Structure 1
Amino acid sequence: MSERGMSVRELADAVNDAVGRLTGRPAVTSERTVYRWLSGQNRWPQARQRLALEAVTGLSAVRLGFVPRGKQHDPVRLEEGSDVERRRFLGAAASTAAVTISLTPNASARPSRVGTADVVRLRAGIERLVALDDERGGHGLEHVALAGAAEALGLQERAATQRVRQRLFALATDYTAQAAWSRIDAGQLDGVEARLERALTLAGLAQDSERSMQVWNLRAMLARQRRHHHEAVAAAEAGLATAVARRSPVHASLAHARTAVCLAHSGQARPALRHLARAEDKLTKADLQQPRASWLVFYGPAELHSLTAIVHDVVGRPAEAEAASHHALAELGPAYRRNRAHTLARLALAQLHQGDIEQACTTSGEVFDVMAGTALPGRLRLLLGDFQRDLLARAPRPMAHEWTDRYRTQWSGS
């Protein structure tokens, strides 16, 4: 429930909706029933409730912590759940399962009442998009993200409760922001501002300060990529002023780190380093084990080290930038392939700025190894363009030309 952001009432509604998809009649699971599951007073719900819970969560009843009746049980058989009723039920309730990015069900199959099951399904879609972004970059995901936003907005007109309506607005914000990020990561900046203005409006309709911060964070990145550095600082500071950044250490840490990056690029080294120190302090106070919105899952020690590397390199401290990049690479999980490639490119720049040209060329080559089989996002190609420009300015001409010749095909053709 914490991972899905569901209340007791919402879980009861989702179970009732899932049962209704099979039987044609809504079930009568109450909040009291859910509390009995949570307390352990009811350790093995009724069959249809169990199957509805599995459809809503994508997990088996055993994995959810329920204990079958009787003394001896085969855990393999319990996990397989191969009985006919279970197969029939899960087939009928498949549209509620949180395991797909398919966004638009058959219109004739839509219930007249939109509830938590629809919120769960759409949330699974945005989580899948974020996972794809982590693995290969956000480029190319714009149309799917816009379809998700359109569906969320269409469903909110038939929301069962005001709380469901606000969650659908929040999901529409997530999808619209993901569409904007897709263009930012691709280096295609036209039309992004309109997407972000729309996302900010949707965040207001959702009454969700976290989504507002999400949008301001992207606006700061957009302005910095356009080299509108003072606008970037203003956007980052707007994110820092949101209610969620005031109450949540992890949000505050990201907001301070983003502000530090924007200040560094605007030539304000001392304020940038002060915000960086605040970002580090806030992160030490954050509980990173608590569930977070999908857009923020990426942020932790690895990302802070990566942003630290950018700040130090921009303000003329390449040795510190190199150290921070190594820390980031050590912390990054295997799912963050695009981020690893980006950090390697920053590491190569830091090494180049210290005059370690051969090592910098070797490190930059690892970027192509990491992203092998996947087109390089435009933002990463731009960073490699910065590396090539600085390499031409600092390295002997034959070495710089050798690097260009070696990676031209992968770089320009990605």
Structure 2
Amino acid sequence: MEGNESLISAMAELDLTQAELAERVNDHLIRAGHEGTVSDRTVRNWVTGKTRWPHPRQREALEAVFGCTAEKLGFRPPARRRPSSSPEDPVDRRIFLSAATGTTASVAVPFVGAPSCVGTSDVIRLRRGLDALMEVDRSRGGHEGLERAALSGAAEALAKQKLGATQRIRQRLFSVAADYTATAAWSAIDARHMDRASQLLGRALYLAGMAKDPVAEMRVWNSYAMLAHHRDEFTEAVDAGYAAQGTAIARRDPLFASLAHARTAIGHANLGNRQAAIRSLEYAQDALGKADASEPTPSWIAFYGPAELMAMTAIVRDRIGDAAESEAASHKALSTIPEEFRRNRALATARLALAQLHQRDVDQACSTASMVFPLMSGHPIPGRMRSLLGDYYRDLITLAPDATIAREWGDRYRTEWSRL
């Protein structure tokens, strides 16, 4: 006996088990004033093809659940023997009327009043859109267009979760909405729209909680640590780093744990806690060594690996006064950061220039800093990078106020790093 592939496919699309389908059909029956008598066994008979044409009330409930006709769900009415005395068979009349109106018997008419079907394919499509935004961020960095696109994706995910999907699909859509909102928040951080970023992160954390998604939760705490860093709220940055370490995914997956420890290390360095910063870096390195590179990961964390850890190490070492070690870490980062991560390469280059400047190698530092601009050629400089270049120039004129190259660098590149 052949199984009902159409019904099986429809159940998979809505992520329904046999027990869950029985429950939803019974809900419709009860609301219609009938008894909810559908059991797991009833659904199993539908799935296996043992029952080819359910009871009319059950068919109506199935059509309401899936938003399409019973025929579209793979059910077939039993063949009828046409009485020879009938002057006009009602089935023939229906076929004639269908043909006269330009339709065919195979066209399925949606069940009137049925909710739109929302399922796994919607989640996959929205995730692909999120991946596309991550590609834009890797190349260009945060900007208003990216933020608007991310918020649009979040709005679509939240609209779909209201359309009667299963609880699991609804949670996945909440997760997608959390990721889109976190992407918008990250874009705001990169553009240095800090108040806006703070609002969006609060919203993203709420959605991650609704989704019961520890990965999205960890992402938000990671971004909170970055936001606090750029606001010079260094104690809060450390606290956010610890919160990221405490998420279920960081406790379970060493890749996420490594990022959380590295982010905490930057917070400790900014507070001047040298030993705590170095210890956190060691934890990050140990955890990254245990990570399985073959495991699939969300697109938002694709930036993190040995190269990015070296880039973050360069920040920590520079902040605690180890400029030579910072320069070495920056060189290691730049040797392995993928070419498509243009924004990250530009940031690491600016950090390298700072480390060289802090060793009083002014000529080399200015030459290195000037390489940032061709890396970002064709795109506005993100706010976070403009701020870093501003820090570089302030340190340049502080450490070498009388150097001709310092004045020349400022005159030549001030317009470049200020471009929006």
* TM exceeding 0.5: yes
Whole-angstrom CA distance in 1 between matches of 2:147 and 2:136: 12
Whole-angstrom CA distance in 1 between matches of 2:139 and 2:326: 24
Task: Describe how 1:239-388 pairs up with structure 2 within 5 A.
Answer: 239-388=244-393
Confirm whether residue 130 of structure 1 aligns to residue 144 of structure 2.
Answer: no
Aligned-pair CA distance for 1:294: 1.5
Aligned-pair CA distance for 1:270: 0.7
2:135 aligned partner, one-letter code: A
Is the 2:350–2:369 Cα contact (8 Å) retained in structure 1? Answer: yes
Confirm whether residue 171 of structure 1 aligns to residue 176 of structure 2.
Answer: yes
1:131 aligned partner, one-letter code: E
The 3 A distance-change label for structure 1 pair 31 and 281 is farther
Whole-angstrom CA distance in 1 between matches of 2:337 and 2:410: 28
Q: Secondary structure of 1:191's partner?
A: helix
Is the 1:10–1:116 Cα contact (8 Å) retained in structure 2? Answer: no
Q: C-alpha offsets along residues 8-36 of structure 1, whole Å, 9 cap, x if unaligned?
A: 98995289xxxxxxxxxxxxxx999xxxx
Aligned-pair CA distance for 1:111: 7.5
Confirm whether residue 409 of structure 1 aligns to residue 415 of structure 2.
Answer: yes
Q: C-alpha offsets along residues 269-305 of structure 1, whole Å, 9 cap, x if unaligned?
A: 1101000001000000001221101111111111100
Whole-angstrom CA distance in 2 between matches of 1:111 and 1:360: 62
Over 4 Å off, 4+ runs:
8-12
Aligned-pair CA distance for 1:202: 0.4
The match for 1:118 is 122
Q: C-alpha offsets along residues 333-374 of structure 1, whole Å, 9 cap, x if unaligned?
A: 111000000000000000001111111000000000101111
Q: Secondary structure of 1:373's partner?
A: coil
Aligned-pair CA distance for 1:159: 4.7
Q: C-alpha offsets along residues 85-132 of structure 1, whole Å, 9 cap, x if unaligned?
A: xxxxxxxxxxxxxxxxxxxxxxxxx97010011101100111011110
Is the 1:240–1:256 Cα contact (8 Å) retained in structure 2? Answer: yes
Structure 2 unaligned spans of 5+? 1-7, 16-45, 49-113
Q: C-alpha offsets along residues 146-180 of structure 1, whole Å, 9 cap, x if unaligned?
A: 11111100101125322211110000001101111
The match for 1:227 is 232
TM-score by length of 2: 0.72
Whole-angstrom CA distance in 1 between matches of 2:271 and 2:11: 48
Whole-angstrom CA distance in 1 between matches of 2:262 and 2:403: 37
Q: Secondary structure of 1:158's partner?
A: coil
1:275 aligned partner, one-letter code: S
2:414 aligned partner, one-letter code: R
1:407 aligned partner, one-letter code: Y
1:155 aligned partner, one-letter code: K
In the alignment of these two chains, the number of paired residues is: 317
Whose radius of gyration is greater, 1 or 2? 2
The match for 2:60 is none
Q: Secondary structure of 1:190's partner?
A: helix
The match for 2:218 is 213
Whole-angstrom CA distance in 1 between matches of 2:369 and 2:397: 14
Whole-angstrom CA distance in 2 between matches of 1:216 and 1:31: 44
1:298 aligned partner, one-letter code: F
1:377 aligned partner, one-letter code: P
The 3 A distance-change label for structure 1 pair 173 and 10 is farther
Structure 1 unaligned spans of 5+? 1-7, 16-29, 33-109
Whole-angstrom CA distance in 2 between matches of 1:332 and 1:10: 43
Confirm whether residue 13 of structure 1 aligns to residue 17 of structure 2.
Answer: no
Is the 1:115–1:159 Cα contact (8 Å) retained in structure 2? Answer: no
Is the 1:145–1:176 Cα contact (8 Å) retained in structure 2? Answer: yes
2:188 aligned partner, one-letter code: R
Whole-angstrom CA distance in 2 between matches of 1:229 and 1:411: 26
Confirm whether residue 157 of structure 1 aligns to residue 165 of structure 2.
Answer: no
Q: Secondary structure of 2:218's partner?
A: helix
Whole-angstrom CA distance in 2 between matches of 1:192 and 1:282: 29
Aligned-pair CA distance for 1:397: 3.8
Whole-angstrom CA distance in 2 between matches of 1:290 and 1:10: 30
Is the 1:166–1:206 Cα contact (8 Å) retained in structure 2? Answer: yes
Aligned-pair CA distance for 1:393: 1.0
Aligned-pair CA distance for 1:413: 2.3
The 3 A distance-change label for structure 1 pair 114 and 317 is same
The 3 A distance-change label for structure 1 pair 349 and 112 is same
Aligned-pair CA distance for 1:398: 2.3
1:331 aligned partner, one-letter code: T
The 3 A distance-change label for structure 1 pair 11 and 273 is farther
